[in-house]
Amino acid sequence: MKKPLILVTNDDGITAPGMRALIEVMQELGEVVVVAPDKPQSAMGHAITINSTLFINKISTADSEIVEYSCSGTPVDCVKMAVSEILHRKPDLCVSGINHGSNSSINVIYSGTMSAAVEAGIEGIPAIGFSLQDFAWNANFEPTKKFVKTIATQVLAQGLPDGVLLNVNFPKLPENQIKGIKVCRQAKASWKESFDKRQTPHGRDYYWLTGEFVNEDKGEDTDEWALENGYISLVPVQFDLTAHHAMQQINTWNLNEQN
């Protein structure tokens, strides 16, 4: 039997330690191909490159156990290029990360890590985004590895429902302090943002985005609660953005009457 083909990508760039940790785990589970941005692409969301060229460089050596490609584009570009131009067959799994920093709650919307996983899901590939609550470049990813393997193994064995992928976030804790994995919903939280306005020496205004993350959700079934209480959060995510619960109400509107 063929080993599962596993596509690994991220948004922190191909040299990021979080990706190196993810690759190490995936090598235990299947044949690994890496396609990742050649530079950091955090908070790119689902951006794609349409007005400039894309470049891919094969960077693995002849004696390497895995094949790696760097891509000049966004995380979503990486998945698109992998599926269309690089891989010889459809991957059995796509994993994105491990991100340096949390992608819980509303951050899933902005995340390049999660958008890469969403793109894989759109392509019909079971996909998981992994993130750690530590933005440091030298973050310790060792405590995550056992759990990454468990979750990926389950997805390979069980599959995922159509149109669903997983958003997995790890608390910044030693392995022996992680209480387990909780299947959660996305917390109702948001960024209260402002812009720090400054001036260049030539008098031109410029701005730095700043903000405070505010969790308005007091539920104990959310990803934010899980992370705050020592659990790994696992949120099933869908890319069908239809608000099905609102359709009945909106259908009561007089939409087809002429004024």
Average pLDDT over residues 183-187: 94
pLDDT at 134 over 70: yes
Show the DSSP H helices in 53-175 as ranges: 75-81, 107-110, 112-122, 142-158
Domain count, the chain: 1
Please indicate, yes or no, if residue 203 is contained in any of the structural domains: no
pLDDT score of 189: 85
Beta bridge pairs of residue 235:
167
Please indicate, yes or no, if residue 205 is contained in any of the structural domains: no
Please indicate, yes or no, if residue 65 is contained in any of the structural domains: yes
Q: What percent of the chain has pLDDT over 70?
A: 97
Please indicate, yes or no, if residue 197 is contained in any of the structural domains: no
127 contacts 96 by C-beta, under 8 angstroms: yes
CA distance linking residue 114 with residue 165, whole number of Å? 9
Please indicate, yes or no, if residue 224 is contained in any of the structural domains: yes
115 contacts 77 by C-beta, under 8 angstroms: no
Structure tokens at 49: 């490159």
Count of H-run helices and E-run strands, the chain: 7, 11
Please name the residue that has the structure tokens 């993130």: 131
pLDDT score of 61: 61
pLDDT in tens, 227-238: 999 999 999 999
Please indicate, yes or no, if residue 193 is contained in any of the structural domains: no
Structure tokens at 53: 């060229």
pLDDT at 259 over 70: no
pLDDT in tens, 193-208: 888 999 999 999 999 8
Three-state SS for 20? helix
| Domain coverage including residue 18 | 5-188+219-250
Please indicate, yes or no, if residue 200 is contained in any of the structural domains: no
Please indicate, yes or no, if residue 214 is contained in any of the structural domains: no
CA distance linking residue 101 with residue 103, whole number of Å? 7
pLDDT-based confidence at 16, cuts 50/70/90?
very high
Burial of 6 (0-12, 13-18, 19+ CB in 10 A): buried
* Most distant pair of Cα atoms in the chain: their distance: 72
pLDDT-based confidence at 183, cuts 50/70/90?
very high
Pairing state between β 56-58 and 67-71: antiparallel
Q: CATH number of the domain that 120 lies in?
A: 3.40.1210.10
Cα torsion through 83, 10, 21, 56, rounded to 10: 60
Phi-psi region at 50: left, alpha or beta (left = phi > 0; alpha = psi -120 to 50): alpha
Q: Report which residue type is found at 176.
A: N
